[in-house]
């Protein structure tokens, strides 16, 4: 069964127009994205900054209201839920943000931070709740000795563990992880990745893992979706995507990863220029202005199609 289904999701932000009679322009941050995450599965969502990954995550949790499309959690349409019912459903869908410091309340101790979702979403009270807090802190590798500390007394890695503890405290079905390791140092990154893998194995929740760090995605994800300028351009099982990337954008991204082996020269497919503005999106394939392989046919609309079982790609040239 799918834990999460995202159906034709669209998030357009209108820009204020200086000239009152002119139709306001819009930022097409997410422009018709469909994806599913099976129960217990990890889907990686990769792409450069500005491609709409984080906007999509915020729409999935309805932290912002999408302009079109549906988000289904266990077959229940979150986008149709009234405010109060949505709040109750939030125990099943939690999020870990990129900046471990900014996403913690500096005035709440570690224990109080992890206690908050339990107080809001569970019937636990008193000693039972305190016990659950200690248990969750133990699960994320924070000893009980840290329970009364405040965020400023913790290291970056410890802070991210508190964020993870807060997210998993209510046994959610799905955790949305928005670049959870990008603010961390090399050795801390490895620890947090291993912790996330371990928690998933033990608790069986699904992850939507958003990242631009492809090596981490390879390590943690079952399937990977690649996003560019608001749309998906390729989706495949992780091994398939890394071994047989089809879309020029995916190939370019992979060729940019510095491989820690001086004898391995990755395929060299360089995109020219930078990501264009999501206000003036080119018609047809959105990559065509930067793609070294672009042909006249790329100006035509390009739908996702299946090229191997579970492997879809949106490119005329594949």
Partner 1 sequence: MTDLLTIRNLAVHFDTDEGVVQAVDGASLQVGRGEVVGLVGESGSGKSVTALAILRLLRPPARVVGGRIDFDGRNLLACSEEEMRAVRGAQISMVFQSPRTSLNPVLPVGRQIERLLVQHGTSPPGQARARVVEMLREVGIGEPERRAGQYAHQLSGGMCQRVMIAMALATNPRLLIADEPTTGLDVSIAAQILDLLGDLGRRTGAAILLITHDLGVVARRCDRVVVMHAGQTVEWAPVRALFHTPAHPYTRALLRSIPRVAGAGEMEPIPGWVPSLLAPPPGCRFAPRCALVRPECRTPVPVRALDADHRVACFAVETF
Residue 237: CB minimum distance to partner 1, A: 12
Q: Identify the residue among 242, 246, 278, 285 touching partner 1 (CB under 8 A).
A: 242
| Residue 149 in the binding site for partner 1 (CB under 8 A) | no
| Residue 199 in the binding site for partner 1 (CB under 8 A) | no
Among 113, 106, 260, 100, CA closest to 184:
100
Q: Identify the residue among 270, 296, 303, 309 touching partner 1 (CB under 8 A).
A: 270
| Residue 254 in the binding site for partner 1 (CB under 8 A) | yes
Name the residue nearer to partner 1 (CB basis): 148 or 185. Answer: 185
| Residue 198 in the binding site for partner 1 (CB under 8 A) | no
Enter the DSSP assignment of 314.
-
The structure tokens listed for 124 are: 């636990």
> What is d(CA 8, CA 10) in angstroms, rounded to the nearest whole number?
6
Stretch that binds partner 1, among 19-27, 68-76, 202-210, 266-274 (CB under 8 A): 266-274
Q: Identify the residue among 73, 214, 246, 314 touching partner 1 (CB under 8 A).
A: 214
Among 154, 133, 152, 153, CA closest to 144:
133
| Residue 83 in the binding site for partner 1 (CB under 8 A) | no
Beta strands in the chain (DSSP E): 2-14, 26-38, 42-46, 68-73, 76-77, 93-96, 174-178, 206-211, 223-228, 231-237, 305-308, 311-313
Phi, psi of 72, deg, nearest 5 = -110, 125
Q: Identify the residue among 190, 294, 304, 307 touching partner 1 (CB under 8 A).
A: 190
Stretch that binds partner 1, among 37-45, 66-74, 81-89, 270-278 (CB under 8 A): 270-278
| Residue 316 in the binding site for partner 1 (CB under 8 A) | no
Name the residue nearer to partner 1 (CB basis): 83 or 274. Answer: 274
Q: Footprint of partner 1 on residues 48-77 (CB under 8 A)?
A: 48-49
> DSSP assignment of 59-107, as one string?
HHTTSS--SEEEEEETTEEGGGS-HHHHHHHGGGEEEE-S-TTTTS-TT
Stretch that binds partner 1, among 13-21, 98-106, 260-268, 301-309 (CB under 8 A): 260-268
**CB neighbours of 131 closer than 8 A, spacing ≥ 6?**
none
Interface with partner 1: number of residues (CB under 8 A) = 35
| Residue 131 in the binding site for partner 1 (CB under 8 A) | no
The structure tokens listed for 268 are: 């060299």
> What is d(CA 6, CA 37) in angstroms, rounded to the nearest whole number?
9
| Residue 187 in the binding site for partner 1 (CB under 8 A) | yes
Stretch that binds partner 1, among 14-22, 108-116, 163-171, 208-216 (CB under 8 A): 208-216
Q: Tell me the chain's radius of gyration from C-alpha atoms.
A: 21
| Residue 311 in the binding site for partner 1 (CB under 8 A) | no
| Residue 36 in the binding site for partner 1 (CB under 8 A) | no
| Residue 258 in the binding site for partner 1 (CB under 8 A) | yes
Stretch that binds partner 1, among 10-18, 90-98, 198-206, 251-259 (CB under 8 A): 251-259
| Residue 252 in the binding site for partner 1 (CB under 8 A) | yes
| Residue 218 in the binding site for partner 1 (CB under 8 A) | yes
Check if the beta carbon of residue 171 is closer than 8 Å to that of residue 90.
no
> DSSP assignment of 101-152, as one string?
TTTS-TTS-HHHHHHHHHHHH----HHHHHHHHHHHHHHTT--GGGTT--GG
> What is d(CA 294, CA 269) in angstroms, rounded to the nearest whole number?
13
The residues that touch partner 1, with contacts defined as CB under 8 A, are 48-49, 185-191, 193-194, 212, 214-216, 218-219, 242, 252-264, 270-271, 273-274
């Amino acid at each position: 069964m799918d834990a999460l289904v995202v159906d034709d999701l669209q998030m357009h932000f209108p820009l204020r127009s200086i000239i009152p009679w002119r139709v306001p322009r819009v930022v097409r941050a997410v422009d018709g994205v469909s994806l599913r995450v099976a129960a217990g599965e990890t889907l990686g969502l990769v792409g450069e900054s500005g491609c709409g990954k984080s906007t999509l995550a915020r729409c999935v949790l309805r932290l912002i209201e999408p302009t079109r499309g549906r988000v289904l959690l266990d077959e229940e349409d979150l986008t149709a839920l009234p405010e109060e019912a949505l709040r109750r459903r939030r125990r099943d869908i939690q999020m870990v943000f990129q900046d471990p410091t900014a996403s913690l309340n500096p005035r709440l101790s570690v224990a109080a931070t992890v206690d908050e979702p339990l107080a809001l979403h569970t019937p636990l009270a008193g000693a039972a709740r305190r016990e659950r807090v200690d248990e969750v802190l133990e699960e994320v590798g924070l000893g009980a000795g840290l329970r009364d500390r405040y965020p400023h007394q913790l290291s970056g890695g410890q802070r991210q563990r508190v964020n993870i503890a807060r997210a998993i405290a209510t046994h959610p079905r799905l955790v949305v992880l928005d670049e959870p390791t990008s603010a961390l140092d090399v050795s801390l990154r490895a620890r947090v990745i291993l912790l996330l893998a371990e928690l998933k194995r033990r608790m069986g929740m699904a992850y939507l893992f958003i990242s631009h760090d492809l090596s981490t995605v390879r390590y943690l994800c079952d399937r990977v979706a690649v996003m560019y300028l608001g749309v998906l351009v390729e989706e495949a099982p992780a091994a398939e995507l890394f071994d047989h990337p089809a879309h020029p954008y995916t190939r370019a991204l992979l060729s940019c990863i510095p491989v820690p082996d001086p004898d391995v020269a990755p395929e060299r497919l360089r995109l020219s220029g930078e990501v264009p503005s999501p206000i003036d999106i080119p018609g047809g394939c959105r990559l065509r202005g930067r793609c070294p392989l672009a042909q006249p046919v790329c100006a035509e609309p390009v739908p996702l199609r299946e090229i191997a079982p579970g492997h879809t790609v949106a490119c005329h040239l594949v």
